[in-house]
Structure 1
Amino acid sequence: MISATYHRFIDWIGDGTGLPDTILHLHAGLAVLMVARIVTRRSLGSFVPLSFVVLAEACNEIMDRLHFGSWRWADTTSDVVNTLFWPTVICLGVRLRPMLMRRDAARVKHDTL
């Protein structure tokens, strides 16, 4: 079955790196974000690369559900938060930066008048 093969691959990665699941999710989220940014040529401030991370994590959790036969909510919630946190922060930071820079430039211009 595909889910069993997928789970063996994920276990192999964890065993090979020696890293805990939490750290692997952090790295996976950032790796998917960067690959999606390069492949799509879209800014990290667009929601396109972030959408790839969301899709990849959804697929990962669906594969876990198929493998284990039920949702393991504590594990699923932790995985989703750890995978999406930094990609979301990066996306919002890049997206909001031009607005903050314009606001600061307007404030400086107003203060010099």
Structure 2
Amino acid sequence: MDYVALKNVVAGLITPANPDALAHVHGGMAVLLLARLITRRSLSTPIPLACVAALQLLNECIDRYNHGSWRWPDTIADTINTLFWPTVLFLGLRWRRERTPVRAAAAEDLPATT
């Protein structure tokens, strides 16, 4: 069984409606969490997100090799589906991390209540 056929079988098991799109969403989140566990870096650091981007690039290069040419609409859709939620999590957690010290410092400045 070649790579494309195997990928389509796995994608069909995950979701029968639009297997490729949802498989990319699940794959991106799975890689993000695995990268978080393996690297022991917070999701608010760019390392886990970079792992997702690197594996997505590798996946699209394998698709290009197997199909013989770039299929730009598919490549763009796959990349958006794979990177959207990991990027949203990264940006949200990054924004929250930057705001947290401000709240802690503000809490220290408040007078103690008895």
Task: Tell me which interval the TM-score lies in, with the shorter structure as reference length.
Answer: 0.7 to 0.9
CA RMSD of aligned residues (A): 2.1
Q: Structure 2, unaligned stretches of length 5 or more?
A: none
- Percentage identity across paired residues of the two chains: 41
| Aligned counterpart, 1:8 | 5
TM-score w.r.t. the length of structure 1 is 0.83
Q: Structure 1, unaligned stretches of length 5 or more?
A: none
Output the CA distance in 1 between the equivalents of 2:42 and 2:78. 25
Residues 21-63 of structure 1 deviation map (CA, whole Å, 9 limit, x = unaligned): 1111111100000000001100001111111100110011001
| Aligned counterpart, 1:60 | 59
* Structure 1 counterpart SS, 2:2: helix
- CA displacement at 1:106 relative to structure 2: 6.5
Output the CA distance in 2 between the equivalents of 1:47 and 1:19. 32
| Aligned counterpart, 1:27 | 26
Q: Which has the higher contact order (CA 8 A, sep 6+)?
A: 1
How many pairs does the alignment contain?
109
- CA displacement at 1:102 relative to structure 2: 3.9
